[in-house]
Chains A and B, each alone.
Chain A
Amino acid sequence: MPQHDSAFATALALILDLDPTLLGIVVLSLQVSLSAVLIAALLALPLGAALALWRFPGRGVLVVALNALMGLPPVVAGLAVYLLLSRAGPLGELGLLFTPGAMVVAQVLLVLPIIAALTRQQVEELHLEYREQLRSLGLSRLRMIPTLLWDARLGLMTVVLAGFGRASAEVGAVMIVGGNIDGVTRVMTTAIVLETSKGNLPLALGLGIVLLGLVGLVNAAAHLVGETARRRLG
Chain B
Amino acid sequence: MRTRHTLTALGLMSLSLTAVAQDETPYITLASTTSTENSGLFDAIIPQFSETSGIDVRVIAVGTGQAFEIARRGDADSLLVHDTAGEERFVAEGYGTERADVMYNDFVLIGPSEDPASIREAETVEQAFSRIAEAEAPFASRGDDSGTNRAELRLWEAAGVEPDGEWYRELGSGMGPTLNTAAGMDAYVMADRATWVAFDNRQNLVLLFEGDDALFNQYGSVLISEEKHPHLKHDLAQQWHDWLLSDAGQQAIADFEVKGQQLFFPNAE
Contact = CB atoms under 8 A, between A and B. Distances in A.
Contacts of B75: 86-88, 97-98
A198 B174 CA distance: 10
B132 interface: no
Contacts of A39: 10
Given A87-B75, A87-B229, A179-B60, A198 B38 contact: yes
Identify which of A38, A99, A184 gathers the most chain B CB atoms within 10 Å of its CB.
Answer: A184
Interface stretch (B81-89, B111-119, B150-158, B193-201): B193-201
Interface string B22-45: 000000010000100110001100
Interface residues of B, number: 36
Interface stretch (A27-35, A118-126, A166-174, A214-222): A27-35
Nearest to A203: B200
A129 interface: no
Identify which of A86, A88, A104, A181 gathers the most chain B CB atoms within 10 Å of its CB.
Answer: A181
Contacts of B202: 199
B61 A92 contact: no
Given A31-B17, A86-B73, A86-B75, A196 B60 contact: no
Contacts of B183: 199
Contact of B60 (A100, A180, A199, A201): A180
Contacts of A92: 74
Contacts of A197: 34, 38, 174-177, 180
Contacts of A19: none
Interface string B176-219: 11011001000000000000001111100000000000000000
Contact of A199 (B10, B179, B231): B179
Contacts of A181: 29, 58-60
Interface string A47-63: 00000000000000000
Contacts of B229: 87
Interface string B70-105: 000111000000000000000000000000000000
A121 to B, nearest CB: 23
A109 B244 CA distance: 40
Contacts, number: 85
A199 B184 CA distance: 12
Contacts of A199: 176, 179-180, 183, 199-202
Interface residues of A, number: 31
A38 B17 contact: no
A200 interface: yes
B58 A31 contact: no
B171 interface: no
Given A31-B17, A86-B74, A98-B58, A198 B176 contact: yes
A87 B74 contact: yes
A212 to B, nearest CB: 21
A101 interface: yes
A200 B175 CA distance: 13
Given A39-B10, A87-B231, A88-B73, 11 more contacts: A31-B17, A31-B20, A35-B13, A86-B73, A87-B75, A100-B20, A182-B42, A182-B58, A197-B175, A197-B180, A199-B183
CB-CB nearest 6 A-B residue pairs: A197-B176, A199-B201, A87-B74, A179-B60, A199-B200, A88-B73
